[in-house]
Structure 1
Amino acid sequence: MGKKTSYKRLKGSQSLRQRLVLSTLASTPVLIDDIRADDTMPGLRPHEISLLRLLERICDDCVVEINETGTELEYKPGIVMGGRNLVHDCGVSRSIGYFLEPLILVGLFAKKPISIRLRGITNDPKDPSVDTFRSTTLPLLKRFGVPSEGLELKIESRGSPPDGGGEVILTIPIVDRLMAVRWLDEGMVKRIRGVSFSTRVSSQFENSMIHAARGIFNRLLPDVHIFTDHRAGPQAGKSPGYGISLVAETTSGCFISVDTAVSYARGEVDEIEYDEKRELMPPDNVGEQIASCLLEEIAKGGVVDSTHQGLLFLLCALSEPDVSKVRVGKLSPYGIEMLRNIFDFLDIRFDIMPDPSTGTVILRCVGCGYKNLSRKLS
């Protein structure tokens, strides 16, 4: 008789990604029930099942059991193996951005570096875009001692909703451990960079978005450069769409980013004749709105934008057993969930000190000294 597995029991569908990542890193099996049990469509969503399959793909001995209705999940984490030339279809219920954060957090502590081809949607309004991941998430990892060598995201083709068709190649190096950080100075914005993209629509859409965004920034600073990435043919995926991602770089090396994308919803593309389709938001409105969003993110203060808070906190918690201290703007709901889950799985508590003079919040914690044990064995 094998040893009976003892599961940490959790409820509900919230913060599933965070729970799976922490369960994997802490080697804590979880049993999650009551997953959307009262919804008209109960149970796990296609993207959540896809994430579980992805974890199975990069881990050995990982056991996933889902009941018939999808409302109960048993997840027993395995050893993160990593590996080259992996392929995973992320589906089209969420974009590739949904999968990148969990993949990188787990991948850093794999036995071997990962290179994986991910297929699906590259840009949508819900998840961080692959551009934001490149411009902002990767530099954030370097702060914690992740080497630039082997840390890369290549956009092979773009894919807009509803049908996707995008493809990226992500490579993740492995680390022994993460460094603690003292990162309190957000600096002043010195330049703004960005990428606009369009798939299966006129490249004129990009020029309109850029022109509108620049109109707002040029009153504030001269160094604004937004590149265009117009894709055609197979590289443009399967659906029409356009969007823009912007990043403000500060004098102290912080990257604050926002992005958005515009496309048709499922069912709108096929049934209606092309000229009767719902009007998409005009590109100049898209440009203006996203520029304003970036200014709002900058105004909140802090060394990362609100989408990167959760990642920042988890990296601090996993780092060497030393004090990390970071400054963020107002705590985001995702950031708060992450703090709860970190306490739940790693027993690490953050001190949270509001800084009334700037409206920001300073968080400190002592890292748990998480080590990549599988690396030693090889």
Structure 2
Amino acid sequence: MLEIDGSFGEGGGQILRSSLTLSCLTGRGFRIRGIRAKRKNPGLQPQHLASVRVMKMLTNARVRGDYLGSTELAFEPGNVIEGDFSVDVGTAGSVTLIAMTAIPVMINRKISLRIRGGTDVPLSPPVDYMRLVLIPVLEKMGITGKIEVKRRGHYPEGGGEVVVYGFRGEPSDLVLSHFGELREIRGISHVTSLPSHIARRQVTGAMEVLKEFKVPVNIEEEITKEGSKGTGIVLAAYGSSVMGANSIGEIGVTAENVGRKAGTDLVRELKTGAGVDSHMGDMLVIFSAFANLEYSASFLTQHTETNIEVTRKFLGVDVTLEGKSPSRIRIRRK
């Protein structure tokens, strides 16, 4: 079994999630110690346990240490099982981080995964980022898939639900060295169980920032009454590649400022000229299990560095990493 130090790099849950994914892809078991050692509340929390449960179900894995607060885990996967699966985090824990753990293992397998928890919560990619940015980027390497939102879930109530399915394709090498010429910006401004005018005001704030770009901007307003209270906006810019940014509504922050933040963050990402944004920079690393990758990320993050080190352990890939902003990343399979 591979030995993983859960305290290296960013020392959070990403080390565990990446290890779970790569373990199930390669069939190699691992033991991780010091889970989330650098976090205020170390050890497995509900969101991380949900990721473990999902990957255990998908591979009929043998697992030890999968309980709340555990700082050690042993995971030995079996063969991947097809079928319809579901998991409920039980909190507002991010459904998208769980989905990202499972998606690589779902590719070209008849697997549908229903996840309940938080769809739009702090410190994780909102579900619309997955739909507007992640999936279009994966399509560039030949992978398609669907993420369907059944109900929105916000912090602290959670209660959201998504269905992840239909991931398939013939992955090919991916090269995204530059963003290229900006063609259009799309987005979704949503409000759930709150006054509908918030969605429009978020759009207004974003448009104040984005007006410098002389391209079509289409931001959809989504107003729903089902799901826990909350708001947010996701923006996606399309050129030769795709970049995204987002902002979640907060108490005491005006809707206009929520929109302005998303717009400002997107401008910041685009001005680097990189191929992908800082979040996609770390999300792509795992897909080197399928093909060679060569791309530039707007900013080098600790999550990216963490994913690179975990991937090296499981796959033995050759990695070239140059610069901080933009950061040029090349991952070659041996």
**Is TM (by shorter chain) over 0.5?**
yes
Change (3 A) 1:215 1:169: same
1:47 matched to 2:13? The reply is no
Q: Corresponding residue for 1:172?
A: 166
- What's the offset of the Cα at 1:328? 2.2
- Cα distance in 1 for partners of 2:31, 2:297 equals 32
Which residue in the other structure is 1:136 paired with?
Answer: 133
Change in Cα spacing, 1:182 to 1:240, as seen in structure 2 (3 Å) is closer
* Superposed CA offset, 1:167-196 (max 9, x none): 111113345x52112332310222111101
CA distance in 1, matches of 2:95, 2:279: 15
1:259 maps to 2:246: yes
Between the aligned partners of 2:146 and 2:66, the Cα distance in structure 1 is 37
Alpha-carbon distance in structure 2 between the residues aligned to 1:249 and 1:181:
17
Corresponding residue to 1:209 among 202, 220, 228: 202
State the alpha-carbon separation in 1 of the partners of residues 66 and 116 from structure 2: 27
**In 2, Cα distance between the equivalents of 1:101 and 1:337?**
15
Shift of 1:95: 1.6
Cα 1:361–1:202, aligned 2, differ >3 Å: closer, same or farther? same
Structure 1, unmatched stretches of 5+, are 1-5, 264-278, 369-378
Q: Given the superposition, is the C-alpha separation of residues 137 and 39 from structure 1 closer, same or farther in structure 2, using an over 3 Å criterion? A: closer
Q: Which residue of 2 aligns with 1:157?
A: 151
Q: Taking structure 1 as reference, are residues 288 and 40 closer, same or farther at Cα in structure 2, changes over 3 Å only?
A: closer
Structure-2 separation of matches of 1:64 and 1:184 = 40
- Structure 2 residues not aligned, in runs of 5+: none
1:93–1:32: structure 2 CA closer, same or farther, 3 Å change rule?
farther
> Conserved in 2, the CA contact under 8 Å of 1:30 and 1:75?
yes
- Verify the 8 A CA contact 1:54 1:88 in the aligned structure 2: yes
Structure 2 partner of 1:33 = 33
3-state SS in 2 of match to 1:300: coil
Aligned pair partner of 1:363 in 326, 329, 334: 329
Equivalent of residue 213 in structure 2, options 202, 216, 220: 220
Q: Please report how far the alpha carbon of residue 107 of structure 1 lies from its aligned counterpart in structure 2 after TM superposition.
A: 1.3
Closer, same or farther: CA 196–67 of 1 in aligned 2, 3 Å: closer
* 1:305 paired residue number: 277
Match of 1:327 in 2: 296
2:104 maps to 1:105: yes
Pairs aligned (count): 328
Is the contact made by 1:95 and 1:122 (CA closer than 8 Å) also made in structure 2? yes
Closer, same or farther: CA 89–189 of 1 in aligned 2, 3 Å: same
| Number of the residue aligned with 2:175 | 182
2: CA distance, partners of 1:38 / 1:184:
33
CA deviation digits over 1:283-302, x for unaligned, max 9? 01111111101111111222
Residue 222 of structure 1 deviates from its aligned partner by 4.1
Measure the CA separation in 2 of the matches of 1:367 and 1:141: 18
Structure 1: distance between partners of 2:330 and 2:38: 38
Counterpart of 1:145 (choices 136, 142, 146) is 142
Q: Which residue of 2 aligns with 1:65?
A: 64
Distance 1:41-1:194 versus aligned 2 partners, 3 A rule: closer
What is the aligned partner in structure 2 of residue 8 from structure 1? 3
The whole-number CA distance in structure 2 between the counterparts of 1:117 and 1:303 is 31
Taking structure 1 as the reference length, the TM-score comes to 0.80
**Aligned CA distance change for structure 1 residues 261 and 52 (closer, same or farther; 3 Å):** same
Partner of 1:349: 318
- Say whether 1:123 aligns with 2:100: no
Deviations 1:180-223 (A, max 9, x none): 12332310222111101111110011111111111221232241
Show the counterpart of 1:374: none
Higher radius of gyration, 1 or 2? 1
User: Aligned partners of 2:41 and 2:234: how far apart in 1?
Assistant: 33
Identity of aligned residues (%): 25
- TM-score by length of structure 2 reads 0.90
Shift of 1:324: 3.8
